[in-house]
């Protein structure tokens, strides 16, 4: 009996030793895998960093080899009236010769064609232009709609299309062409949104519409505090005004609850600013 107990004890001891060695081996393998993963991540980071450096170098080489420099733009709206401003551009033609004809082309808002003007040469190969434009003065709007899934697609699309249309109305497209004999070279057409210059005095008006359930609500706020005096909500059936109500004021925020979407197919907010300016904006259309 003693011999049997001894054999069992030895077997248990051997099993324990084997298990300990196995656990140590597994831990060693796990550590090796972790080290490999860390090394792989380090290699990926190095490759990404080197790729970024290569892109920067290639961009610099491309710019150096380009026949035209980057076009610098600034806008002077000081002392402007009703959003009237002057946009200044300057650039360099690197492959300029005396017989080169340089032309600046621009298109603003809903203009169908580009306007072409001869820029002023400040020194050999360096040019500048001044363009008078009228940027619509008023707040910029950001509209966010949360609506039942079966209704949201069409309404969101209409909001997006309206915002894109307004964006295009305040965008300036421009490019430069150089004519040398029978050869004409043109730079890429660039687009610059100028609406922010017209909204400097009014900031961004944020509109959140929550039409997901029974307790529908509208929330209006301005990123710049204390600019808005009051907000009115105008409800329309097509072009017929069916209701007009002042939104509840909460400091720089305005809200209205229990809005029934069945009562209207268009919503407009009338925003009264403390500088006595009043703006209307369509925020929803079925």
Q: Once rounded to an integer, what is the mean pLDDT over residues 135-154?
A: 77
Residue 88 and residue 11 in one domain: no
Percent of the chain at pLDDT above 70? 74
How does residue 61 score in pLDDT terms, banded at 50, 70 and 90?
Answer: very low
Please report whether residue 220 resides in a domain: yes
Q: Once rounded to an integer, what is the mean pLDDT over residues 84-92?
A: 90
Considering 68-77, 150-159, 175-184, the range whose residues carry the highest mean pLDDT is 175-184
**pLDDT-wise least confident of 167-171, 224-228, 240-244:** 224-228
- Tell me what pLDDT residue 62 has: 47
Pairing of strands 126-134, 183-186: unpaired
Among 64, 83, 103, the domain-final residue is 64
Please report whether residue 143 resides in a domain: no
Q: What is the pLDDT of residues 5-24, one digit of tens each?
A: 555 556 665 566 666 566 66
| Helix then strand then coil, % of the chain, to nearest 5 | 30, 40, 25
Please report whether residue 87 resides in a domain: yes
- Tell me what pLDDT residue 58 has: 45
Residue 72 and residue 190 in one domain: yes
**pLDDT for residue 242 is more than 70:** yes
- Tell me what pLDDT residue 57 has: 43
Please report whether residue 177 resides in a domain: yes
CA pair distance 161, 154, nearest whole angstrom: 11
Residue 82 and residue 177 in one domain: yes
CA pair distance 266, 276, nearest whole angstrom: 26
Among 194, 224, 241, the domain-final residue is 194
- Tell me what pLDDT residue 41 has: 72
Please report whether residue 71 resides in a domain: yes
Please report whether residue 268 resides in a domain: yes
CA pair distance 187, 103, nearest whole angstrom: 11
Half-sphere exposure of 260 (CA within 13 A, CB side): 5
Q: Once rounded to an integer, what is the mean pLDDT over residues 243-254?
A: 90
Please report whether residue 166 resides in a domain: no
Count of domains observed in the chain? 3
Give the structural domain span for 232: 202-285
Q: Once rounded to an integer, what is the mean pLDDT over residues 156-169?
A: 79
**pLDDT for residue 149 is more than 70:** no
Q: What CATH number does residue 275 fall under?
A: 2.60.40.730
**pLDDT for residue 64 is more than 50:** no
Residue 179 and residue 84 in one domain: yes
Query: Tokens for 187?
Result: 């730079």
Q: What is the pLDDT of residues 191-218, one digit of tens each?
A: 998 888 888 888 889 999 998 877 789 9
Residue 177 and residue 71 in one domain: yes
Which letter does DSSP use for residue 78 in this model? Answer: T
CA pair distance 278, 228, nearest whole angstrom: 10
Residue 93: Cβ-neighbour burial (10 angstroms; 0-12, 13-18, 19+): buried
Residue 102 and residue 184 in one domain: yes
Residue 113 and residue 181 in one domain: yes
**pLDDT for residue 231 is more than 90:** yes
Q: Once rounded to an integer, what is the mean pLDDT over residues 165-169?
A: 83
* Mean pLDDT for all residues in the chain: 81
285 or 102, higher pLDDT = 102
Among 64, 81, 101, the domain-final residue is 64
Please report whether residue 72 resides in a domain: yes
Q: Once rounded to an integer, what is the mean pLDDT over residues 133-148?
A: 85
Residue 48 and residue 93 in one domain: no
């Amino acid at each position: 009996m003693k011999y049997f107990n001894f054999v069992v004890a030895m077997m248990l001891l051997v099993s324990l030793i084997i298990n300990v060695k196995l656990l140590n081996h597994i831990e060693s393998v796990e550590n090796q895998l972790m080290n490999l993963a860390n090394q792989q991540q380090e290699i990926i980071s190095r490759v990404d960093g080197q790729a970024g450096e290569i892109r920067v170098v290639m961009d610099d080489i491309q710019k150096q080899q380009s026949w035209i420099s980057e076009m610098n733009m600034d806008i002077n709206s000081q002392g402007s009236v009703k959003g009237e401003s002057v946009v200044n551009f300057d650039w360099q033609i690197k492959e300029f010769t005396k017989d080169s004809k340089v032309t600046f082309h621009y298109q603003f808002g809903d203009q169908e064609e580009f306007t072409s003007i001869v820029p002023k040469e400040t020194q050999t190969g360096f040019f500048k232009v001044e363009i008078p434009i009228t940027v619509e003065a008023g707040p910029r709007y950001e509209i966010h709609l949360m609506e039942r899934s079966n209704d949201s697609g069409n309404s969101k699309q209409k909001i997006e299309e309206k915002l894109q249309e307004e964006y295009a109305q305040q965008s300036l497209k421009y490019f430069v062409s150089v004519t040398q004999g029978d050869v004409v070279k043109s730079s890429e057409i660039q687009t610059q949104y100028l609406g922010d210059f017209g909204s400097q005095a009014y900031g961004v008006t944020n509109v959140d519409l929550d039409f997901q359930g029974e307790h529908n609500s509208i929330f209006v706020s301005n990123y710049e505090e204390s600019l808005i005096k009051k907000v009115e909500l105008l409800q329309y059936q097509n072009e017929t005004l069916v209701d007009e109500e002042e939104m509840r004021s909460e400091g720089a925020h305005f809200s209205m609850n229990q809005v029934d979407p069945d009562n209207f197919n268009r919503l407009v907010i009338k925003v009264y600013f403390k500088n006595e300016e009043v703006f209307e904006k369509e925020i929803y259309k079925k």
